[in-house]
Amino acid sequence: MIRILLILALAAGLSACAQLPAVPATPESRDAPSTPDAGDGAAASPTAALLEQGRQQSAAGDYSRAAASVERALRIEPGNPYLWLELANIHRAAGNAAQAEASARKALSLAGPDRAAEQAARQFLQKIEGQ
Amino acid sequence: MANTHQPGPRQAPSRILARARALFLRAPKRTAAAAVLLLFSCYALYLSISVIVAFEGRRWDIPARVYAAPLELYAGVTIGPDELSAALDRTGYQRVDTPRDAGQYAAHTDRLVLWTRAFRHWDSEEPEQRAVIEFDSHGIASMRGEWDETLPLLRLEPMRLGSLFAAHHEDRILVATDDIPSLLIEALKTIEDRRFDTHVGLDFRAIGRAAFVNIRHGGIRQGGSTLTQQLVKSYFLDGRRTFTRKFREAIMAVALELRYDKDELLQAYVNEIYLGQQGSRAIHGFGLASEFYFSKPLQRLDLHEVALLVAIIKGPSYYDPRRHAERARERRDLVLATLADNGVIDADAAEAASTRELGIGNAGMLSRYQPAYMDLVRQQLAADFPLDELATEGLRIFTNLDPRVQMLLERELAAGLERLQPAGAADDVRLEGAAIVTRPQSGEVVAMVGGRDVEYDGFNRVLDASRPVGSLVKPVVYLAAMQTGEYTLASRISDEPIEIELDNGDTWAPQNFDETSHGDVPLLRALADSYNQATVRLGMAVGVDAVAAQLEGLGLARRPDPNPSLLLGAIEMSPFEVAQVYNSLANGGFRMPLRAVRSVVDADGNPLVRYPLELLPAADPDAVQQVNHALVQVLERGTARTAKAVLPRDLTAAGKTGTSDDFRDSWFAGFTNDHLAVVWVGRDDNEPAGLTGSAGALSIWAPVIAGIDATRSFEPVPSPNLEFVWIDYETGLGTYEGCRESALVPLPPGARPPRVAGCGLGLRELGMRARRWLEGGR
């Protein structure tokens, strides 16, 4: 259940971040045929594309490359809490509890008024503390 | 390695002769002759072994190649067409009218058509990609691929920096036999060694001709050296032209010819021969020379460029095309004419090539060596790779260096120091400086300059110059205070004089910079205006121990002694250490080890090590947010407000000035959302530089930050645990938006100060009058 919530929160966050790019979106990118969505392989948002790539690598157990992909996304959007949460997920899957927790704390500190992000980060922290 | 044997052969001949003479006197002639022959054979064998050892050792000695960070292109990234073109040029792309092959691009006003080369990055290979990039006033507006599909992201091939080479300072880019242009091979043979294909290492006809010339002129003038002999000469780095050396060289050349085939020798020559010098870095081989002089790979050189490289073999210093362009050009044209005479090229081509400029790139970054940054690369890799491996194994190292920021930093530091240098000052009172730029959200070091002379490969002030940091330490004092939960930005603290009894019995009475006390002030103003007395009072209340611990927690790799003078920055730190501490502030209280290297792959591209982003909660993010807010006020209305004239009007930045005793050190550390820069200015002899942090370092910091187009305002996400309240900057009392001296600050709930009516002007007026009265004014 928590996992589903997390995924939902991540998806919500992604569309949010796609709508709030660092630099004002140009008409071209707004009219782009592919929607900037996490599930879309041809996602127009660079961070969404990298996040998707990271998920695939993570699912294949290649945590090092997965983390590298999310780091690339973070270079573009360092203030995006969902990217930090994704990094936390990868660290947890890779068995690196300390980095998982630190990344989730970073996500929490960046959530600000975004309740969904805040909740997702808090739940993640609770879960790893319970382990 | 072979160099260590060098004294041997040099002394040997005289000893051999002495022994031979002794034998000759005592024994019959035949025995003497046999003995001489035996000794000579031993000597020849020894020389042969030495040269083969040298050849084998050098053959696969490939210094680790270092790469800058790759440029990531996507819609929305801040980069204009000119900047992108420049970046492509640095990576060795060719500008054409219509790209017809990978590695080419065409630039138009708002559009760039690009055909990328495939490149194997650390994690995966980026395939060749054709892209049409459209720009608007912000940067890239859209990117489309071959089939007009939207490209979300395009990771370009990273720029090659210098190499990590061993102590002998020889740098080279190894070129495989197949990659050597046939024109170069033909030109080498024609100019340097006509009978290379048939001789046995020595060209007796050439030697005869040279001998004739030499006898006529007395002494040695003409070489007549074969490529093989030149190769031998290069291995043993002996510039003297003596007959003994020539003799040795000849034996060694023959030994190489007997052992290796012509192709192997030619490849070794192309990769070995000395072709230039840059400071302590020796440019060896045509692969690197091509990058060094023309900023492009050997395979892409045009005829006139190949001719120039061949021309300078004879004397890379004498024919240095950067310093002696005319000489170099004359010899290049001579080479072209000779090639035409010998039918290697046709006369028209030679003629056309002779009209071309030398085409020497402005060194640029591609060919440049970044000693300061390389130091950090070495330091970071030292734990995982022995130096030897870095110098020989052909590893590839991917770093975080951002070429655009590196060039900007070099330029601004040099220009700033020039500006700040007192007019007419002697050379030995030269101002020095050091600077580092990081990306605070990831801890990546993107640029470093270790001194005024960028290419000087020695004392690296960023890493090695530890200087008192002065007021740079203050944010740490305030952070320690906020972390207790007992203080907020609106808390008032006395700025009256304070005397502290030290352990040694002395009394310490720090003073404010303006030698004035400012009464009770809010922490916001005490930090932004850098009041010493208030800061010492606050630090003593919190405890020097807590401040020392906070400093360590933020990333200083040692626990400073908790002397009260620590509160005013009586602690020596290097610019790198300052950057580490400030990076944790800029990052909202998370400490990240500053990193130069992202990953290392072996010669075949297999990943060896990755240095991932790592973070450690180092301070309460809410406390950090408050401190950072005061650091924004430093630039808004505090000690660094002069920077506002230089920074873009809509760019919010945070930072702190630092000045050590007697103006010996001038510091500024500050950050935006995406970049943190620390600048130090002072003198190597530690004499007063006569500059405050704002007069010196800030005047370099500001144009650096202003010059990074892609940097965004420092606007941290407001913490839900803090509320934003208008307070009066001078008194800390609650005011209203629109009041002249009010500042919007984040405060913990319950810390809201009581509001005063009418912007609190009456109160301030009263306070000022009272102060004047107290100070014995009117």
> Is A71 in Cβ contact with B674 (below 8 Å)?
no
In terms of Cβ atoms closer than 10 Å to its own Cβ (0-12, 13-18, 19+), residue B100 is exposed
pLDDT band at B397 (very low <50, low <70, confident <90, very high): very high
Q: Determine how β-strand B281-284 pairs with β-strand B170-171.
A: parallel
Name the residue facing A78 among B124, B138, B442 (closest C-beta): B442
- Is the CATH number of domain A2-16+33-129 1.10.10.350? no
> Is B610 in Cβ contact with A64 (below 8 Å)?
yes
pLDDT band at B4 (very low <50, low <70, confident <90, very high): very low
| Annotated active-site residue in B290, B471, B584, B694 | B471
Mean pLDDT (chain B) is 87
Per-residue pLDDT at B547 exceeds 70: yes
Token pair for A2: 């928590």
Rounded to a whole number of angstroms, the distance from the CA of B666 to the nearest CA of chain A is 31
> Is B621 in Cβ contact with A74 (below 8 Å)?
no
Query: Most B CBs within 10 Å: which of A109, A110, A118, A129, as the mutation test of the B interface?
Result: A109
Rounded to a whole number of angstroms, the distance from the CA of B439 to the nearest CA of chain A is 9
Which is more confidently placed, B662 or B366? B662
Q: Are B618 and B553 in contact (CB under 8 A)?
A: yes
Domain coordinates in residue numbering, chain A: 2-16+33-129
> Which residues of chain B neighbour A42 with C-beta distances below 8 Å?
149-150, 152
Query: Most A CBs within 10 Å: which of B398, B652, B673, B717, as the mutation test of the A interface?
Result: B717
CA B263 to chain centre: 37
Provide the number of CB pairs (under 8 Å) joining chain A to chain B: 117
Contact A34/B at CB under 8 A: yes
Q: Which residue of A has its CA nearest to B76?
A: A23
The total number of residues shown for chain A amounts to 131
d(CA B561, CA B552): 11
Token pair for B536: 């010492």
d(CA B524, CA B388): 52
Residue B765: active-site member:
no
Comparing B274-288, B320-334, B463-477, the range with the smallest average pLDDT is: B274-288
**Residue with token string 């030495």:** B50
> Which residues of chain A neighbour B124 with C-beta distances below 8 Å?
65
- 3-state SS, one letter per residue, for B153-191: CEECCCCEEEEECCCCCEECCCCCHHHCCHHHHHHHHHH
Rounded to a whole number of angstroms, the distance from the CA of B621 to the nearest CA of chain A is 7
Per-residue pLDDT at B5: 42
Per-residue pLDDT at A76: 95
Contact A39/B at CB under 8 A: no
d(CA B436, CA B440): 12
> Is B720 in Cβ contact with A67 (below 8 Å)?
no
Rounded to a whole number of angstroms, the distance from the CA of A7 to the nearest CA of chain B is 22
H-helix or E-strand containing B50?
Answer: helix B29-59
Residues A9-68 have pLDDT tens digits of 444 444 444 333 333 333 333 333 333 333 334 446 999 999 999 999 999 999 999 999
> Can you name the residues that pair with B437 across neighbouring β-strands?
B447, B677
Per-residue pLDDT at B776: 47
Per-residue pLDDT at B732 exceeds 70: yes
> Is A68 in Cβ contact with B123 (below 8 Å)?
yes
- Helices (H) and strands (E) counted in chain A, each on its own, are 7, 0
Token pair for B48: 């042969």
Percentage above 90 pLDDT, chain B: 59
d(CA B390, CA B66): 10
Per-residue pLDDT at B209: 72
> Is B124 in Cβ contact with A28 (below 8 Å)?
no
Rounded to a whole number of angstroms, the distance from the CA of A75 to the nearest CA of chain B is 7
d(CA B630, CA B714): 12
Q: What angle do CA B214, B215, B217 make, to 5 degrees?
A: 65
Per-residue pLDDT at B217 exceeds 60: no
Q: Are B533 and B440 in contact (CB under 8 A)?
A: no
Residues B80-106 have pLDDT tens digits of 999 999 999 888 788 899 999 888 999
> Which residues of chain A neighbour B673 with C-beta distances below 8 Å?
78-79
Name the residue facing B72 among A33, A76, A103 (closest C-beta): A76
Residues A72-113 have pLDDT tens digits of 999 999 999 999 999 999 999 999 999 999 999 999 999 999
| Annotated active-site residue in B157, B192, B249, B412 | B192
> Is A74 in Cβ contact with B150 (below 8 Å)?
no
Write the DSSP string, A43-59: -SSHHHHHHHHHHHHHH
Per-residue pLDDT at B57 exceeds 60: yes
> Is B613 in Cβ contact with A87 (below 8 Å)?
yes
Q: Are B359 and B305 in contact (CB under 8 A)?
A: yes
Token pair for A48: 């969404």
> Which residues of chain A neighbour B136 with C-beta distances below 8 Å?
26
pLDDT band at B16 (very low <50, low <70, confident <90, very high): low
> Can you name the residues that pair with B682 across neighbouring β-strands?
B432, B665
Residues B412-422 have pLDDT tens digits of 999 999 999 88
Which is more confidently placed, B272 or B15? B272
Rounded to a whole number of angstroms, the distance from the CA of B347 to the nearest CA of chain A is 53
Q: Which of B70, B65, B66, B62 is nearest to B123 (CA)?
A: B70
Contact A107/B at CB under 8 A: no
Contact A65/B at CB under 8 A: yes
Q: Determine how β-strand B111-116 pairs with β-strand B129-135.
A: antiparallel
Report the amino acid identity of residue B744. L
Per-residue pLDDT at B632 exceeds 80: yes
> Which residues of chain B neighbour A113 with C-beta distances below 8 Å?
717-718, 720
Residue B50: active-site member:
no
The total number of residues shown for chain B amounts to 778
Per-residue pLDDT at B26: 61
Q: Are A114 and A16 in contact (CB under 8 A)?
A: yes
Which range has highest mean pLDDT (B167-176, B213-222, B719-728)?
A: B719-728
Q: What angle do CA B579, B585, B586 make, to 5 degrees?
A: 80
Q: Which residue of B has its CA nearest to A36?
A: B152
Phi, psi of B103 (to 5 degrees): 90, 15
The contacts of residue B106 (CB under 8 Å, 6+ apart) are B95, B96, B97, B98, B99, B112, B113
Per-residue pLDDT at B337 exceeds 90: yes
Report the amino acid identity of residue B210. A
Name the residue facing A28 among B141, B149, B616 (closest C-beta): B141
Q: What is the mean pLDDT of residues B441-470?
A: 89
- The answer, as to whether pTM is greater than 0.90, is no
Percentage above 70 pLDDT, chain A: 66
Rounded to a whole number of angstroms, the distance from the CA of B89 to the nearest CA of chain A is 24
Q: Is the ipTM of this complex over 0.85?
A: no
Neighbours of B290 (CB within 10 A): 26
Q: Determine how β-strand B492-494 pairs with β-strand B160-164.
A: unpaired
Neighbours of A45 (CB within 10 A): 32
Phi, psi of B748 (to 5 degrees): -65, 155
> Can you name the residues that pair with B116 across neighbouring β-strands?
B129
